[in-house]
Copies of this chain bind each other. A is one copy, B any other.
C-alpha cells in the first residue's frame, strides 16, 4: 500500500503573511527560546513562607499554627452544584446523553445563565458576548494574544502577580500605578500618561479595596479618551454587599466600548479545584486595524476556536447550577460565612487602631504593619508571637512594603482564635 518515502518540500505555498519568505538557516544557527522568560523575577513568596513556618515548627515542636494567608476556598461545593455535576457525569456514561466536543465558547445554557446574572446587575449582554473558559487565570493571560506586543501596559501596584508576569513573557512595557493609603489603594489615572492596556481588579486582590461607581467612571472616561482597553478582573464580585458599589465595569455607561471583563466561579462557587471562568467581550468593543474597526469579540473568538477546546460539560452544568435560584442561595451562604470571618478580622484591627482596607466587600483584609515594621518583620512577629501565618504585602509589589494580607477563607474557629492571638501579640508591642 505504501510506496517508499520521498522527500518533498513546498517552496511556493507559504500562506500570505506567514512571517515572510522562509530561508533555510545555517546549520550552526541555534533554535531560540523566548528570552522574555529570563526577565521574570523568581517568586519566592510562598516558598519563603513555607520555609519560615517549617523552621519555626522545628524549633517549637507541637505549636499550633493558624493560617490566615490562604487564598483558596475551604468550604465544600454547594449541594445544588454537586447534584448537577453528578447528573452530568451520569449523562456522560450513557450513549443517548453522551456529549463530545462542545462549542469552544461554551454551552448556551451557561452563557444564558451568565446573561441573566448580569441582567440582575442592570447589565444587558447577549449570549455571544460571553465566553466560557477554564478559569480567570487562563483567560486573563490568554486575552493578551489578541493585542500587539508594542502596547503600553498600566498595572496598579500592589497587584495579583499574573498581570505583570504574563506581560513580561510577551515583552510588553509595563508602567505601575501606585496604590497607597492616601488613595485607599484605589489609584485613578494620571492623565499625563497614556496607556493602551489597563488592569483593574475590584474588589482587589490583595488589598480588598473596591472602586466606587464614580471612580470607575473616571477610568472609563480615561480609556475612551485615550483609546485604551481596560481588563477588568471581577473574580471577587460576589463579595460586594454594598449595592451602591459596582460589581461589573459594565454598570458604568460607555464601558462596553472600552472594557473586557474577566470573571470566575473560583471564589463565587468554590470552583478553585473545578476550574471555570468567563470572559465578557462586548460586541460593541472595536479597535482599528488599517483604519477599519475590528471587533475584539471576533478576535477573541478566533483565538479560542484555534487554541482552546471548551470546558468540561460536567463543570459547565455545575456552574449553571451555581447561578440557579437554589444554587446561588447556597453559594451565597458560603460567601456570607467568609465575609463574617473578614468582619471579625477587620473589627479587631479597628479596635487596635491599625489602618486597613478591605474586610467588608472582600475576603481580604490589607493592613498597615504596626510600629513601622516591614512586611517580613511583621510576618516573623505574627508567626513567633501569635502563631499566625499571613502574607507579606511586599510580595505583591513595591507598594505593598509595610503592608500585610490576612484572608477570610479559614474556618470560623481558627479565625476567631487567630484574631485573639493577634490582638494579644500587638497589645504587647
Using a CB–CB distance below 8 Å, which chain A residues touch chain B?
Answer: 1-10, 13-22, 24-27, 29-41, 72-77, 79, 81-82, 85-86, 89-90, 92-95, 98-102, 134-135, 137-138, 141-142, 145-152, 157, 162, 164-169, 171-178, 180-184, 186-190, 192-194, 196-197, 209, 215, 225-229, 270, 272-275, 287-290, 294, 296, 299, 302-303, 306-315, 355-357, 398-399
A270 CB, nearest partner CB in chain B, Å: 8
Which of B1, B41, B77 interacts with A98 by CB under 8 Å?
Answer: B77
Bound Cα distance from A73 to B99, whole angstroms: 9
Find chain B residues with CB under 8 A from A274 CB: 92, 312-314
**Is there contact, CB below 8 Å, between B92 and A273?**
yes
Q: Which residue of B lies closest to A41 (CB)?
A: B15
Q: How many subunits of this chain does the assembly comprise?
A: 2
Known: A274-B92, A311-B275. A357 touches B2 (CB 8 A): yes
Find chain B residues with CB under 8 A from A34 CB: 145-148, 299
**Is there contact, CB below 8 Å, between A76 and B94?**
yes
Find chain B residues with CB under 8 A from A307 CB: 137-138, 141-142, 162, 166, 169
A195 CB, nearest partner CB in chain B, Å: 8
Find chain B residues with CB under 8 A from A303 CB: 37, 169
**Is there contact, CB below 8 Å, between A22 and B175?**
yes
Known: A7-B188, A151-B32, A312-B315. A22 touches B79 (CB 8 A): no
Bound Cα distance from A238 to B356, whole angstroms: 57
Find chain B residues with CB under 8 A from A74 CB: 95, 98, 100
Find chain B residues with CB under 8 A from A306 CB: 40, 141, 162, 165-166, 169
**Is there contact, CB below 8 Å, between B90 and A76?**
no
A-B contact list, 7 entries, CB within 8 Å = A10-B176, A13-B398, A17-B36, A22-B173, A34-B145, A274-B314, A315-B315
Known: A39-B18, A40-B302, A184-B2. A289 touches B193 (CB 8 A): no
Find chain B residues with CB under 8 A from A27 CB: 194, 225-226
Q: Which residue of B lies closest to A306 (CB)?
A: B165
**Is there contact, CB below 8 Å, between B398 and A100?**
no
**Is there contact, CB below 8 Å, between B273 and A100?**
yes
**Is there contact, CB below 8 Å, between A17 and B32?**
no
**Is there contact, CB below 8 Å, between A30 and B166?**
no
Which of B6, B31, B75, B183 interacts with A196 by CB under 8 Å?
Answer: B31
Find chain B residues with CB under 8 A from A30 CB: 227, 287-288
Which of B9, B18, B137, B164 interacts with A173 by CB under 8 Å?
Answer: B18
Known: A2-B186, A19-B173, A174-B22. A72 touches B100 (CB 8 A): yes
